[in-house]
Structures are given as C-alpha cells and as structure tokens.
Structure 1
Amino acid sequence: MRTAYQDQLEDLTNQLGAMCELAGAAMERATQALLQADLVLAEQVISDQDVLGEHSARTEEAAFVLLALQAPVARDLRSVVSAIQMVADIDRMGALAVHVAKIARRRHPVHALPEEVNGYFSEMGRVAVELGRTAQEVLLTGDIDKAARIRAEDDAMDDLHRHLFNVLMDREWKHGVASAVDVALLSRFYERFADHAVEIGRRVIFMATGELPEYEELPPETWRD
C-alpha cells in the first residue's frame, strides 16, 4: 500500500511537470505570434488552452483523492496541498499566454507592437519560457537551491517591465493611446507569468523544508477573461 501511495505522489508531481511544460510552450508560441503577427499560431495557443484545462482538472482531482483516501501527514501533506496551489499557478501561466495570443489576434493583420519595443518583448518571452522550464525542473527534481534562484532570475523580467514603462512615459512615444495600452498590458502579462513561476519555486521549498520563503505574496489575480 505504501509503495502505491508513493507512486501516486510521484504521478502527481509528474502531472504538474507536464502542466508546466504546456504553459511554457504556450507562452513561447504566443510570443512568436505576437512578434510575427501570426494569426494561425495565435489561434493555436488559444485553442490549446483546453488541453491545459483538462490537465488542471485531472491533477487537482488526483490531489483531492490523495487527501481524502490517504490522509497524508507532515511532508506528504505539504506536497499534496502545495500541488493543489501549484495547479492554480500553472493554470494562470497558461491563461496569461492566451492573453498575449488574443492581443496578437485582435490586432491582426497589423503587428500589435511598435517595432521599437520588439526587442523588449523578444527578451521577455525568452525569460518567461526559461522561468517556466526552471519551474518544471525544480518540480520534478525537488532541487531547493535552484528553486530559490528562480526569484533572482525573475529580476530580469522585472527590469524589462520597468524599462517598458519608461518607454511608454517618454514624450517621444508616437504610437497613440491604444498601442500604449496594448504594450502595458502585454508587459504585465509577462511579468505575472514570471511571478507565478516564482511562486512554484516557493512551494517546492515549502514541500521540502516546511518553511515558506518570505517573498512578496502574489496579489489577487485581476487579469482574468
């Protein structure tokens, strides 16, 4: 029975890892759609959201079954409860990629981004995808040192987010209000994606040590459809 229980815990971790992979791939494709004004790719990101949603539902159900039938304690309890919380984080990562794709779709066939900010978003996309991959790795390996480093790696995204706001506030901005709103929203979507990756790292540390790093808590989610 104990072996079967541990197998269920391992399966739960693997499901979370698979969800992270899907969310990272969605943001990678969404970034390509945004930079290339690729309608087909944007539509793919939007339609694939259902796949991540199905994974979320199955993973959450598996976690609740473990709680109900196995009554885990100590580290196992932390793992199951953290898994439920991480399902929500990863689901939001996928949803944020969809938000990016929807802006690309709405502006098609025009590029949603002025050319002068393309470099910022290319880098934000790269950082977001890398953070997603790191979150997946720490989930699967339980590497708490690498989990702690996610917070530092997120600083690059925060810097890009701040720089973009400086660009928007510059008197030389000549692309109008609608474009400025798109850029501000998109920047926020990438920054939030990174924040959720940081939160996954916190949960991995909590699962292993019983202590939750005192990072700034994510505020209530406001970027919903």
Structure 2
Amino acid sequence: MREQYQEQLDGLAAGLADMCDQTAVALDTATRALLDCDLPLAEEVISDDVKVDELRADVEEKAFELLALQAPVATDLRIVVSAIHVATDIERMGDLALHVAQAARRRHPDPVLPEEVQPYFAEMGRVGVMLARKAGEVIRTRNLVAAEELESDDDAMDDLHRHMFTVMMDRHWPHGVAAAVDVTLLARFYERYADHAVAVARRIVYVVTGQMPGPLAV
C-alpha cells in the first residue's frame, strides 16, 4: 500500500512537470507565430490549450483523491496541497501563451509588433520558455538551488518588460496608439508568465522546507 501511495504522489509531480513542458512549447510556438505572422502556428497554440486544461483537471482529481482516501500529513500533505496551487499557476501560464497566439491571429496577416521591438519579444520568449522548462525540472528534482535560481532568472524578463515602456514613452514613437496597446499587453503577458513560473518554484521550496519564501518583489 505504501509503495502505491508513493507512486500516486510521484504521479502528481510528473503531471505538473508535464504541464510545464506543455506550456513551454505553447509559449515558444506562440512567440514564433507572433514574430513571423504565422497563422497556422497561432491556431496550433489555440487548439492545443485544452491539453493543459486537461492535465490540470487530472492533477486536481488525483490530489483530491489522495486527500480523501489517504489523509496525508506533514510533507505529503504539503505535496498534495501544493500540487493544486501549482496546477493553477501552470494553467495560467498556458492561458498567457494562448493570449499571445490570439494576438497574432487577431492581427493576421499584418504584424502585431513594430520591427524595432521584435528582438525584445524574441528574447522574452526565450527567457519565458527557459523559465518554464526549469520550473518543470525543479518539480521533478526538488532542487532548491535551481528553484532559487529562477528568482534571479526572472530578473531578465523584468528588465525586458521595463524596457518596453522606455521604448514606447519615447516621444518619437511613430507607430500610434494601437501598436502601443498591443506591445504593452503582450509585454505584460510575458512578464506574468515568468512570474507564474517563479511561483511554481517557490511552492517546491515550501514542499521541501515547510517554509514559504517571502513575497515576490513587484
């Protein structure tokens, strides 16, 4: 019975890590759709979003079953409760990748982004994908060093997000209000995606240590 119970706990972690991998693929594909004005890629992200929702539902079902049937305590209870919170964060990452893809589809065949900001969004996409994949590895390994590294890794995304405002506040911005709104929203999507990846890592710190790290800096 104990071996089966441990397998169920391990299954929660595997499901959450798979969710991270799925959202990493979604953001990578959505970013390529955004930069290349590629409608099929945007549609792929939009249609695949249901996969993340299904993975979350599966994780939550297993977590509630463990709570009801096994009455976990101590570390095991932290694992189960944290799995529910983490599933929510990862699903939100998928939703944010979806929003990027929807923006690409909405403006097609026109580009969403002015050419001068496209390299910054390419980098935001790269950083976001790296954070999601690293969060998945933290879930699999419970590596506290890697979990803490995600906090500093997120600084790169924050810097890019702030830089977008510097670019748009330039009085010589020639692209009009609609482009400024698109850039602002999209930059926010990437920044929030990264914040949720960090939140996932922080939950793993709580699982291992029993202490939740302090609040994220805003």
Pairwise TM-score range, normalised by the shorter structure: over 0.9
In 2, the alpha carbon distance for the partners of 1:154 and 1:135 equals: 12
User: Structure 2: how far apart are the matches of 1:51 and 1:126?
Assistant: 22
CA distance in 2, matches of 1:109, 1:60: 39
Amino acid at match of 1:12: L
Mapping of residues 1-225 of structure 1, within 5 Å: 1-216=1-216
What CA deviation, in whole Å up to 9, does each residue of 1:152-196 have, x standing for no partner? Answer: 000000000000111011101010100000000000000000000
What residue number does 1:222 align with?
Answer: none
Give the letter aligned to residue 135 of structure 1: A
RMSD of aligned alpha carbons: 0.9
Tell me the distance in 2 between the aligned counterparts of 1:216 and 1:94.
21
1:74 aligned partner, one-letter code? A
Rounded Cα–Cα distance in structure 1 between residues aligned with 2:109 and 2:139: 39
Q: C-alpha distance in 1, partners of 2:172/2:82? A: 46
What letter matches 1:20 in structure 2?
Answer: C
**C-alpha deviations, 1:41-70, integer Å up to 9, x for none?**
000100101111111111111011011110
TM-score, normalized by length of structure 1? 0.96
What amino acid sits opposite 1:133 in the alignment?
R
Residues paired across the two proteins, number: 218
CA deviation after TM superposition for structure 1 residue 217, in Å: 7.5
CA distance in 1, matches of 2:216, 2:140: 24
What is the distance in 1 between the residues matched to 2:114 and 2:189? 17
The code of the aligned residue for 2:133 comes to R
TM-score using structure 2 length = 0.99
Q: Which ranges of 4 or more aligned residues in structure 1 deviate by more than 3 Å? A: none
Q: CA deviation at 1:145?
A: 1.0
- Unmatched segments (≥5 aa) in structure 2: none
In structure 2, the residue matched to 1:221 is none
Cα deviation, 1:99-143, whole Å, max 9, x if unaligned, reads 000000000000100000001000000000000010000000010
Q: Distance in 2 between matches of 1:145 and 1:158?
A: 21
SS at match of 1:72: coil
What is the percentage of aligned positions where both structures have the same residue? 57
Question: Alpha-carbon deviation of 1:89?
Answer: 0.3
